[in-house]
Chain A
């Protein structure tokens, strides 16, 4: 992959001199992104995403500065392809046959480094290219894949494992520790927009942070309403009931405002993809769940007409919200985009349920196969005549009162 990219980049060098390199004396990394789009426009496939932006707060280097040996020597040994957004841009003619044509020991090869690209070495022809890099970002982007592993993916696993342990473990200390670890890991995920902003998965952390407020309001509100009712032990006060209703209303209004008002989760410059996925899936599924629950309450409930009607009203309200989102534009999300998201959410939900169902089938099959292989328990012989006589004697005593004292 390195060698083919070297050849690609060398080809780019010659082409860029004519197209981009001399246009500006100080060019930013985004120029490569533009070049990537140029090649894509004329039909060259891009196997990977193009280079993304750089840290605009840091001054860019001029080609002369870039060509300085003091800078490049420090970077000479650094190599690595980073699995992030800014990876290899172009696949011009497929995998090129790479032949080492450099005979001189003084000449090296130059790669371009950006948010997730290759390492940089020195080449004498490079200063005429006109592209720049930013060394502090270079170090940060080289480290960011490992940061995303330790600050996003490992906490993600800990949240799931900690949650399961907190629910299933028999020991109180383990449950407490697992709960604390899960909470800390969740916080780590939510702070990824600040800790690993270069990782695409930080958008999920931003989404979780945006959703935390309305979820807390809805959860605490429903809890307060439920446990201020006819609970025999630990009943909450009527004031808590009113507070619960207010919190549910605020949480619902917050969610609606995230679609139709100016607080739509946006990261970094567009609407958060995971928010769109979540909102479309929620509005697609919740009316169906409410309607199904209404039927079940009617079938299995006894004199539960009021509850059935209330669930029906909830289901209809959620359905109407979904319909309105499809018919009217949101503040940042248009109805066409939301409609596309609804179709993709449908595919997601069906796929998720199909995969879960298949996994449960395999789980059941594994247990059945294992249980059938177990050795059946040894059956004991029936009671003997002495046992039966003893049993009848004891029964006779208990039924008739017996002639003996119980002492």
Chain B
């Protein structure tokens, strides 16, 4: 059930998500005088690492799915293939010289560094979500009991 003022809410929601990013990044641009170097490299590393690790974690979820379907092998193999493909693509790009290397000594060091950076970013994202949702629940639960109002027929 939505409020009467809910028209156009997807656009407002999108603007609410994007606007803080834009202002903070613009301020960072003014302070540093330049866009951060190595952004594309970091983006690609982060995308490949998150795809690979998420594929392996979703593969674990398939065990729960398998309980309902008498443990089929096919989807499990599918996600395993996706994870392995992600790892292979990462290793392929990292081995192409300085294409995706970030001051790490070897392909293995860069892959391990990517995994740790992924964990750090994920932790920050989870804390941001938990703080906001935790504050919301705290305010909702600490509101006084409202009397029920029945509309007159």
Question: Which A residues lie at the B interface, using CB under 8 A?
Answer: 47-49, 83, 85, 87-88, 153, 156, 160-161, 164, 168, 200-201, 204, 207, 211, 215, 218-219, 222, 225-231, 241, 244, 274, 277-279, 281-304, 306-307, 310-311, 314-315, 319, 322-323, 326-327, 335-336, 338-356, 358-360, 362-363, 366-367, 369-370, 373
Contacts and interface: CB of A to CB of B under 8 A. Distances in A.
12 contacts: A87-B106, A204-B116, A278-B124, A299-B2, A311-B132, A311-B135, A311-B139, A319-B24, A323-B24, A327-B27, A339-B28, A340-B36
B19 A291 contact: yes
A359 B120 contact: no
A359 B55 contact: yes
B72 A277 contact: no
B88 interface: no
Among A49, A83, A274, A363, the most chain B Cβ lie within 10 Å of the Cβ of: A363
B30 to A, nearest CB: 8
Contacts of A315: 20, 132
Interface string B27-63: 1110110011111101111111111101101101100
Interface in B73-124: 74-75, 78-79, 82, 86, 103-106, 108-109, 112-113, 116-124
B153 to A, nearest CB: 20
Among A200, A201, A295, A304, the most chain B Cβ lie within 10 Å of the Cβ of: A295
A241 B1 CA distance: 32
Given A299-B9, A352-B50, A291 B24 contact: no
Given A291-B16, A366-B78, A347 B43 contact: yes
Nearest to A281: B124
A293 B121 contact: no
Interface of B: 1-3, 5-6, 9, 12-13, 16-21, 23-25, 27-29, 31-32, 35-40, 42-52, 54-55, 57-58, 60-61, 64-65, 72, 74-75, 78-79, 82, 86, 103-106, 108-109, 112-113, 116-125, 127-146
A48 B106 CA distance: 7
B3 A355 contact: no
B36 A307 contact: no
Nearest to B121: A348
A314 B82 CA distance: 39
Given A87-B105, A293-B132, A352-B50, A307 B143 contact: yes
A-B complex: 6 closest residue pairs judged by Cβ atoms: A343-B36, A351-B46, A355-B50, A229-B141, A48-B105, A359-B54
A215 B54 contact: no
A356 B103 CA distance: 25
Contact of A226 (B58, B61, B134): B134
A122 B90 CA distance: 40
A153 to B, nearest CB: 8
Contacts of B24: 283-284, 287, 319, 322-323, 326, 342
A218 to B, nearest CB: 7
B77 to A, nearest CB: 9
A285 B125 contact: yes
B44 A201 contact: no
Contacts of A228: 142
A290 B20 CA distance: 10
Given A288-B16, A323-B24, A339-B28, A298 B109 contact: no
B21 A288 contact: yes
A359 B72 CA distance: 20
A384 to B, nearest CB: 32
Contact of A277 (B32, B75, B124): B124
A351 B45 contact: yes
Contacts of B12: 295
Among B16, B49, B75, B104, the most chain A Cβ lie within 10 Å of the Cβ of: B16
Contact of A222 (B55, B129, B134): B134
Contacts of A327: 27, 31
Contacts of B125: 281, 285, 349, 352
Given A225-B142, A355-B47, A359-B58, A348 B136 contact: no
Contact of A343 (B35, B57, B82): B35
Contact of A311 (B1, B40, B75, B136): B136
B117 A277 contact: yes
A351 B25 contact: no
Nearest to A231: B141
Nearest to B22: A288
A297 B136 contact: yes
B120 A274 contact: yes
Given A200-B113, A288-B21, A294 B16 contact: yes
A207 B119 CA distance: 12
B13 A289 contact: no
B28 A355 contact: no
B141 A281 contact: no
B109 A83 contact: yes
Nearest to B25: A346
A290 B105 contact: no
A362 B82 CA distance: 7
Contact of B40 (A326, A347, A367): A347
